[in-house]
A and B are shown apart, each in its own frame.
Chain A
């Protein structure tokens, strides 16, 4: 046993461990130094001539703290904003003021600062806090995208929150907490931190869904989301515990080393780990609403106040996908055959369910929920090709999808603002928008055509990338089904456009005032939807950088 290392009671050949630990995929001296210290920390009994191995490791964590500067800033701001809001809002002297608008703008400011702080970190790879968290290009880019998307969704929903009379300031603080949870989720490199981060963000989302206290639909949405979400969290925890029971570790790095080093001889271990993989991916499919587990999403989208729906629809998906892809590429990369079959099954289910059920929807929010189920299907197809191109296509599609989503939701917010907001919007409300506000309907046309994947728009490239990568990995049947359902789904996007342009609504065809922030976001998104068709290199490179972190 002299050449082996005892590692949680399992002996693995030193030849497997050492290269992986010593590989210094780092760019600056500090991280090299840190990696080396980590190595010494792991094997304290080895003698390193000339190096004092009894150094104080707490000093190193002070530098790790710098990696978490954006998160620390966001967390501190949440605390300060909570105190500020609660003291102002309950102040008798000021007459119990409503500080919704004020707090919304403060949150936007905080998010912008957080974005700058993330952007400012110059380290490109670091594992820190005993390998619990990772900082690489994937996590930092996804964090930036998350923060910016939340910022936009807060900006467009500002007026709506006021109109819906969600008068509790906790709404915005919970949004910030959810973003903080998502940022931890993206950075997590250990099953424990992954689970805690998922819980943190989903607890905030449950409350956001139920935040309209006087509406029973909102309460129902919150309760449904809570019950099904905790069910999926329980599945995730089950998978993690099986994995821990089989290997004795929860760390991604250790799991990667253990599962790739063991080989296929012990079949009980393999089947158990496949069960763990099944449970973890089922939990993940629940969270992103892939097809057989999508039942909660239309109800939650429909019942929640529209400002929360926008947040659910746009923000959490990219973080969940990033962490899911990371989990599979690092831990389960030797179980390819098993999980690709799984992914293809869920992908086919999602595209079929997404396109065929959305055909019969009368309400806009439900329709968009089902269409997002379909898009999750395409994303899973991209992932199941299990190649660099596939993961690149996945991130490319996600970013384009977020842009389109922002555009569509600001259109949904802008139509029909004169009638009652309580009533949820149906397809008929889109009628004759082109007569009352031609620019608005044209923006909506760009967004819907991009979702459908019609050529002079960015959505076309996004879909093309996915199908090309799937065909290159010989997933002929899955791509065939996905292309066919993409044709079906383009029917209802085009029907929306037809409603806007060719159907006349009886009442109220006067001009609709669109609020300033919504119009800015719409202009921004629709510009980039056209621009990324002409020159998608920037996004493709970004997506490739993110994908390269995993291969």
Chain B
């Protein structure tokens, strides 16, 4: 019974997702063409040969995105619990942001952000 509320949450969210998706599927006007019907995957054709060469910069951008995404993810719980933390907790985060900035400066200077 401990997890009953989570189970309810699961049921409601699954139901809601089915409802919204089903409504847009059955009630909306649909005019498919090739571009719309194909899978959207960052500009690549998802069904071509997997051994094709493509630019490593896609990976670089993705990795950098993940790092800064996680930074935001880390900031949320910190900002909520800031009132419970001592000054140590505050300065730890400031240090974290500073170190991330150093990494960002490095990435910038080394030229990883330049597309051409």
Contacts and interface: CB of A to CB of B under 8 A. Distances in A.
Interface of A: 56-58, 61-62, 79, 82-83, 86-87, 90
Contacts of B88: 58, 61-62
Contact of B86 (A58, A82, A83): A58
A90 B102 contact: no
Interface in B83-115: 86-88, 99, 102, 105-106, 109-111
Given A79-B99, A90-B110, A56 B105 contact: no
A83 B87 contact: no
B102 A82 contact: yes
A209 B105 CA distance: 25
Contact of B109 (A56, A57, A79, A90): A90
Nearest to A79: B102
Interface of B: 86-88, 99, 102, 105-106, 109-111
Contacts, number: 23
Nearest to A64: B88
Contact of A90 (B86, B99, B111): B111
A58 B109 CA distance: 38
Contact of B106 (A57, A58, A82): A82
A56 to B, nearest CB: 7
Contacts of A56: 86
B86 A86 contact: no
Contacts of A79: 99, 102
Contacts of B110: 86, 90
Grouping DSSP codes into helix (H, G, I), strand (E, B) and loop, the A interface class, with mixed when no group exceeds half, is helix
Nearest to A56: B86
A392 B18 CA distance: 65
Given A82-B106, A86-B105, A86-B110, A58 B87 contact: yes
23 contacts: A56-B86, A57-B86, A58-B86, A58-B87, A58-B88, A61-B86, A61-B88, A62-B88, A79-B99, A79-B102, A82-B102, A82-B106, A83-B102, A83-B105, A83-B106, A86-B105, A86-B106, A86-B109, A86-B110, A87-B109, A90-B109, A90-B110, A90-B111
A187 B90 CA distance: 24
A57 B87 CA distance: 11
Contacts of A86: 105-106, 109-110
Contacts of A90: 109-111
Contacts of B106: 82-83, 86
A534 to B, nearest CB: 48
A449 B110 CA distance: 47
Nearest to B110: A86
Contacts of A58: 86-88
Contacts of A61: 86, 88
A68 to B, nearest CB: 12
A430 B67 CA distance: 48
A62 B109 CA distance: 35
A223 to B, nearest CB: 14
Nearest to A57: B86
A62 B91 CA distance: 12
Given A62-B88, A86-B105, A86-B109, 11 more contacts: A58-B86, A58-B87, A79-B99, A79-B102, A82-B102, A82-B106, A83-B105, A83-B106, A86-B106, A87-B109, A90-B111
A24 B110 CA distance: 51
Contacts of B109: 86-87, 90
A83 B102 CA distance: 7
A80 B22 CA distance: 56
A75 to B, nearest CB: 8
B64 to A, nearest CB: 15
B108 to A, nearest CB: 9
A132 to B, nearest CB: 13
Contacts of B87: 58
A86 B107 CA distance: 9
B90 to A, nearest CB: 10
Nearest to A168: B110
A82 B108 CA distance: 12
Nearest to B105: A83
Contacts of A62: 88
A290 B81 CA distance: 44
Nearest to B86: A58
A150 to B, nearest CB: 22
Q: Which 3 pairs of residues, A with B, have the shortest CB-CB distance? A: A58-B86, A86-B109, A90-B109
A524 B86 CA distance: 49
A56 B85 CA distance: 11
A56 B89 CA distance: 13
A57 B89 CA distance: 12
Nearest to A87: B109
Contacts of B99: 79
Nearest to A82: B106
A83 B109 CA distance: 9
B45 to A, nearest CB: 26
A83 B98 CA distance: 12
A356 B30 CA distance: 70
A179 to B, nearest CB: 17
A356 B109 CA distance: 50
Contacts of A83: 102, 105-106
B85 to A, nearest CB: 9
Contacts of B111: 90
Nearest to A90: B109
Nearest to B106: A86
Nearest to A91: B109
A61 B105 CA distance: 31
A87 B105 CA distance: 9
Nearest to A129: B88
Contacts of A57: 86
A409 to B, nearest CB: 31
Contacts of A82: 102, 106
B98 to A, nearest CB: 8
